[in-house]
Structure 1
Amino acid sequence: MLHIFGGDGQRSVTLNKAGIITIGCAPLCDIPIFEE
């Protein structure tokens, strides 16, 4: 599993069926990470 820690130390990582990893966080959000 991919773990990402941001400035607040808390991020949610979701991997969809298309293989696209999206990063969810509050209050700031990063752009999606595309894993090849």
Structure 2
Amino acid sequence: MIGAIIRYIVGSIYKWHNIKTKDFPLFRDDCFFTDDTVMTH
């Protein structure tokens, strides 16, 4: 469950801007929680 929450927060900034690389920062200043993060329990 913790992994899913982290994935939602890290992926929040890439939701509409797909990237093709595996080299990206995980936690940036503009990461935020999503509705999926809140509903994960």
TM-score (norm 2): 0.18
Instruction: Name whichever structure is richer in strand by fraction.
Output: 1
Higher relative contact order (CA 8 A, sep 6+): 2
TM-score (norm 1): 0.18
